[in-house]
Amino acid sequence: MMDAVILAAGVGARMGALSRLCPKPLIPVAGRPLIDWVICSLLKSRVERFVVVVGHMGGLVARHIKEKWRGLSVECIQARDYLKGAGYSLLAAEEYVSGEFLLCPADIVFDHEISSGLIKAVKKLGVPLIAAGRSEGRGTAISTSGGKCGEVLRIGEGDENRRVCVGLVALDSSFFTHLRRSLMRGEGSVVSALKLYVDEGGKLGFVDFHGRVWFDVDTLSDVLDANRHALKAGLTPEEGLYVPPGEVRSGMGTADYKSTLVGPVLLLDGRIERSVLGPNVSLSGCVSCKGAIASDVVAFGGGNITGVVKRAVFFGGVAFPVRDEGVEQI
């Protein structure tokens, strides 16, 4: 079976202030941390050994892995130069892998059929081999030849097929030579190393997984989108509550509006009454919201919200006191 290297070192700057309080791999989607979605999908693909590269708030991520995945064959390693790019994080894993391995970021939620299909295709097409999909404005565009599978001609330039890199790549140990050369040129991303490989005549294959679901979770808005999909797909959150689009009322009714707050913004403390919150507002456990209208809000770490909720993600013990007021709980 193929090993997997999971890159969980990045800062997650596009998550805003939330990434300073919680490492991105531990931000929940449908009540489950992002990195747990990745591991679960890879386990379904019969991956048995994991190398997790940590960086930003790496101690918290490593502790979660140790506690949550006790008994799993997993090694957590700290990347010293993770701030320079994902390529440096991958380089930190070099001595921990040999032969073929599957590279996967920790911030992607994907159908396990993608990883299973990619691993299966390696037997026929060899490595390096990437998973491709279709996405408007998401992922790195690629130009390809072939139908369902074929060769990547250019990276960073699209064509009429509108294919992009999903984020999963099957590689082998020889790729580290190309990675080092890319890093020496001042290009710190894994994509840059793959581009250099292709530009110099290397054969990079692809498999198109159009129709399979995947989410590159970079922003709080992406968290909400991934939550909505998980709910529609019938995935039950392990903890917390997700409220999908569509108004949910408590018995208080709609209150007068005193202010309107539009993100991206993170509120760490204070009391908010009769206000409109969202989109892209994050609330910590020290914020009390009374009579609020919340739309596209993330609330975490405790706290209390009453009012009208249109779309939100709740985790970490947020109190949403509507259980006895006729509101559908999901």
Q: Identify whether the C-beta of residue 245 lies closer than 8 Å to the C-beta of residue 330.
A: no
pLDDT range class, residue 314, cuts 50, 70, 90: low
Residue with the bigger pLDDT between 190 and 245: it is: 190
Q: Identify whether the C-beta of residue 104 lies closer than 8 Å to the C-beta of residue 115.
A: yes
Q: Is the pLDDT of residue 56 over 90?
A: yes
Q: Letter for the amino acid at 158?
A: G
Q: Angle at CA 215, nearest 5°, toward 202 and 303?
A: 140
With 0-12 / 13-18 / 19 or more C-beta atoms within 10 angstroms meaning exposed / middle / buried, residue 97 is: buried
The model carries a pTM of 0.75
Q: What pLDDT score was predicted for residue 150?
A: 96
CB-based contacts of 92, cutoff 8 Å, min separation 6: 53, 77, 78, 79, 80, 81, 82
Mean pLDDT rounded to a whole number for the chain: 82
Q: Pairing mode, if any, of strands 100-105 and 3-8? A: parallel
Which homologous superfamily does the CATH classification assign to the domain defined by 3-216?
Answer: Spore Coat Polysaccharide Biosynthesis Protein SpsA; Chain A (3.90.550.10)
pLDDT tens-digit series, residues 241-257 = 444 444 333 322 333 34
Residue linked to tokens 């090993």: 3
Q: Domain ranges for the chain, please list them.
A: 3-216, 241-330
pLDDT tens-digit series, residues 137-153 = 578 999 999 899 999 99
Please measure the distance between the N-terminal and C-terminal CA atoms of the chain and give it in whole angstroms.
Answer: 38
Q: What pLDDT score was predicted for residue 303?
A: 61
Residue linked to tokens 């997984």: 209
Q: What is the mean pLDDT of residues 28-57?
A: 92
**Strands (DSSP E) found in 187-244:** 205-208, 214-216, 241-243
Which 8-state DSSP code applies to residue 319?
B
Q: Identify whether the C-beta of residue 236 lies closer than 8 Å to the C-beta of residue 242.
A: no
pLDDT tens-digit series, residues 256-308 = 345 566 555 666 666 777 677 766 666 766 677 777 777 667 776 556 667 77
What are the distances in angstroms from CA 262 to CA 246, 266, 275, 276, 313?
A: 19, 10, 11, 8, 16
**Residue 254 phi, psi dihedral angles, 5° rounding:** -90, 125
